[in-house]
A and B are shown apart, each in its own frame.
Chain A
């Protein structure tokens, strides 16, 4: 009896410890913060979300007071919910569908959690009903763990994801492109790789095409050298890594500088002019599923932003640099 109550007391104590502010926040704990946060936004009430007093909040690259922006306009959560949960770094990122002003939209969300409180909130809303509807229609996967023996290190996962950006920036078809044969990409709710050729249309031939085609696979697109007009992929912030599932989440910007940067040569020596003629920057949240060093799946939401805009989380030099940065706070390569 005495022993039993002692055991019960120990059990109680350990439960309390798990819930205490200093206890580690595991996958379920971190992911619960996302729902708690979204529910608070939905209620237009920051007090409901366990937000630390000095927490920093940005929406689409702009620092705002907590309670401003989407806090005034979100009216429902959606069914698309893809997490990249980084227990080691205390970061949880989320790509999901929502409704705002009665219109479907996508959100990329990053929360940093310390001592069971949210200390950083980074949001990127992509305001396009068709994108949110597309993601919900396609659905998500990659919640299955990768066998422990096949898991890659955090550094290697980031390295492979960064090769994607390096291969696309001023793409010349001559780089090393770490794509698996089944690689697919979804951008703003639609497939932009391996799209079946429409009836009556011909599959463009990379040897003669002057623009890359969504009928092609990931590697075929990069091998074509036709993405050259992406002049600069900058402020490459890798914000969450999940080695268990092989997932990497990043926020970046694609600059298209127009002018002479539109003129380039394909790997087989053809002179091509392609890309936006007027200045164009995409702000993106992009995530990768990587196994055995190869990219299997890419998902991105992207919205046009003023050319050269920074993320709100980098100094000016880092914001304009094309260097990949592990900003999870768990950079073990240092």
Chain B
């Protein structure tokens, strides 16, 4: 009896420390929150979650009450999941697959955990994407992310948070009004990119007519018109690697990459997760010269914005992998987490 009491005392503080609200939430803890969140979505029940009283919840840039939106329609979790854990700031971001009314959808989620409670939920559900809603199926076929993402960077080679964000931001700065004349040495030679479940580098099978920015399908619906695919250009950037695409000057029609929010950084694995918007102003901005002097006219013919979740694997200051989810939204739309000035700015945050 006396012994038991001693054991009880010995156990109590340790057990208490494990459960205390003040203990930091490590990688496993953060990832378990992501699962709890998705399970609660499927159960259509926000009450299952430890939600902070000051919770802010957005879905595809719109502030909603928890319980509304995807809470009503989520039906199952998928297999594909790629995490960026950031215990230092309490953020966890991931790219994954789920189903909505039994239809596969790709999802990007960011949660901010404070005192073992969810203080911020940012969900981005991709229903159409780059190619008429096939992205989630493509990711499910892959089943798991490229193993490169999970490799730990040797401690002596790790970059600081600031440097990782700086490198990731170079990607956006070089893509915005891309002219082929920048310094693109931030790309590793083996860099590849996956967008909406499809590889968009070194891929002869990928082609969207006159550019990645012109999806074949528009925002459909009653009376809605499918956006006709522009005629194929003679130049197919998808055949090239990351650096060669940027060197070509092809992406000039991406007029503004704004509201650049770097929301989670994993220094151990060299990962950076961001939410951004790509604006295509169209009109005269479609006409430009590629870096070899060729006159080109590419991109959407009317104002077009992609909302994106985009993540980077960076080693020794170079980008080895880019992975993104994207869906079309009204031109100029904001994230719900920025002021208008921040949301319209190309400045990284």
Contact = CB atoms under 8 A, between A and B. Distances in A.
Contacts of A282: 221
A59 B60 contact: no
A304 interface: yes
Max chain B Cβ within 10 angstroms of own Cβ: one of A62, A102, A305, A316: A62
A258 B303 contact: no
Given A278-B127, A304-B219, A308-B68, A61 B330 contact: yes
A309 to B, nearest CB: 5
B223 A190 contact: yes
Interface stretch (A16-24, A27-35, A67-75, A153-161): A67-75
Interface string B279-308: 001111100000000000000111100000
Given A73-B283, A101-B302, A131-B225, A305 B330 contact: yes
A189 interface: yes
A2 B332 CA distance: 62
Interface string B1-31: 0000000000000000000000000000000
A309 B62 contact: yes
A257 interface: yes
Which range holds the interface residue count of chain B? 35 or more
Contacts of B105: 278
Given A68-B281, A308-B64, A187 B223 contact: yes
B225 A129 contact: yes
Given A44-B283, A72-B282, A303 B224 contact: yes
A50 interface: no
Contact of A308 (B62, B127, B283, B284): B62
A306 B63 CA distance: 11
B330 A62 contact: yes
Nearest to A127: B302
Interface string B331-349: 1111000001000100000
Given A69-B332, A259-B101, A277-B102, 16 more contacts: A68-B332, A72-B283, A100-B302, A101-B300, A103-B302, A105-B302, A128-B223, A129-B225, A189-B223, A259-B44, A277-B101, A277-B103, A304-B219, A306-B329, A308-B62, A308-B63
Contacts of B225: 127-131
B222 interface: yes
A303 B220 CA distance: 8
Max chain B Cβ within 10 angstroms of own Cβ: one of A59, A63, A69, A309: A69
A308 B69 contact: yes
Contact of A64 (B73, B222, B224, B332): B332
A261 interface: yes
Contacts of B46: none
Interface in B72-118: 72-73, 100-103, 105
B224 A128 contact: yes
Contacts of A101: 282-283, 300-302
A100 to B, nearest CB: 5
A187 B103 CA distance: 28
A93 interface: no
Interface in B204-235: 218-225, 227
Interface in A255-309: 257-261, 277-280, 282, 302-309
B62 A278 contact: no
B303 A306 contact: no
Interface in A41-81: 44, 59-65, 68-70, 72-73
B303 A278 contact: no
Interface in A119-148: 125, 127-131, 134
A62 B329 CA distance: 10
A62 B64 CA distance: 18
Q: Is the interface of A mostly helix, strand, loop or mixed?
A: mixed
Contacts of A278: 73, 100-101, 103, 105, 127
A307 B330 contact: no
A97 interface: no
A188 interface: yes
B302 A279 contact: no
Contacts of A259: 44, 72-73, 101
B221 A304 contact: yes
Contacts of A69: 281, 303, 331-332
Interface string A76-119: 00000000000000000000000011110100000000000000
Contacts of A105: 302
B61 interface: yes
A131 B223 contact: yes
Contacts of B222: 187-188, 302
A100 B224 CA distance: 15
Contacts of A306: 59-62, 329-330, 333
26 contacts: A62-B330, A68-B281, A70-B303, A72-B284, A73-B282, A73-B283, A100-B301, A101-B282, A101-B301, A125-B302, A130-B223, A130-B225, A134-B223, A188-B223, A257-B68, A258-B72, A258-B101, A259-B72, A260-B44, A261-B72, A278-B101, A302-B223, A304-B220, A305-B330, A306-B61, A307-B60
B333 A63 contact: no
B70 interface: yes
Contacts of B60: 306-307
A127 B340 CA distance: 25
Nearest to A309: B62
Contacts of B303: 59, 68-70, 72-73
A62 B334 contact: yes
Max chain A Cβ within 10 angstroms of own Cβ: one of B101, B222, B330, B344: B330
Max chain A Cβ within 10 angstroms of own Cβ: one of B62, B125, B281, B301: B62
A91 to B, nearest CB: 23
A61 B101 CA distance: 28
B159 to A, nearest CB: 35
Contacts of B72: 257-261, 279
